Amino acid sequence: MSRKWERMVEKNRKQTDRLRRKQGKPSVLYSQSATFRRFLGRNWMLPFFLIGFSIMFTILFYDYYQGDASYWFIAISYFLLGLMIFFLRRPMLGIGKTELTSRRFGGDKTVPAEEVSEITFMPGYVIIQFKSKRMRWVYSKFMHRMDLNAVKEELKPFAQKNGIRWTDSTQTEAQSQQKQ
């Protein structure tokens, strides 16, 4: 389907759902699983720092503040905050038909394909560069604990479909080694 047709279908779906809600009927569920793929990672550096700070704070200042309730509140709060970030605040990359979505610290950011200038895949890294003055999105296997090979398999057709320049340094390294 063309993008114009997709926009028209989406507009009509929203109107139908709005009308059904006014009538007291449940909205029609549409499956987005085929059109939107989400990759979740695991953030470990900030939680590691917060839990380490909590343990260090507890060990270093135990003799001075052991009777103070705020001392224990601070130590336990940092520990729980680290655990919450580790289990709840996971890095995410969503790949739709014409948009990319990423979870940033301030919330989820969605960027249309027209604003993406280049997608680069290197061993252990995926870099998404934008045309505007936004920062680039960098996903590393070490930092984000994400399956980057699966991300590569989804991003490559996305880049080809939307006319985005795709650079795969693993192929260029293999080709240069074959020439030698």
- 122 or 1, higher pLDDT: 122
* Per-residue model confidence as pLDDT tens digits over 54-103: 999 888 887 787 777 888 898 899 999 999 999 988 889 999 888 899 98
What tokens appear for 1 in the block?
């389907």
Asked whether 139 and 146 are in contact (CB, 8 A), the reply is: yes
Residue span of the structural domain in which 73 resides: 45-88
Domain count, the chain: 3
Does 7 share its domain with 51? no
CA 166 to chain CA centroid, Å, is 19
DSSP state of 113: G
- Rounded to the nearest 10°, the torsion over CA 146, 148, 150, 155 is 120
Separation CA 91–CA 64 (nearest Å): 38
Does 103 share its domain with 128? yes
- The pLDDT of residue 61: 84
Mean pLDDT of 128-145: 86
Question: Is residue 120 pLDDT above 90, yes or no?
Answer: yes
- The pLDDT of residue 64: 80
- The pLDDT of residue 50: 94
Asked whether 76 and 90 are in contact (CB, 8 A), the reply is: no
Residue 35 lies in a domain: no
Does 3 share its domain with 54? no
**Could you give the angle at the alpha carbon of 12 between the alpha carbons of 114 and 24, nearest 5°?**
130
* Per-residue model confidence as pLDDT tens digits over 4-48: 888 888 888 888 888 887 887 776 665 444 578 899 998 889 999
Asked whether 120 and 172 are in contact (CB, 8 A), the reply is: no
- The pLDDT of residue 134: 67
Does 80 share its domain with 120? no
pTM: 0.67
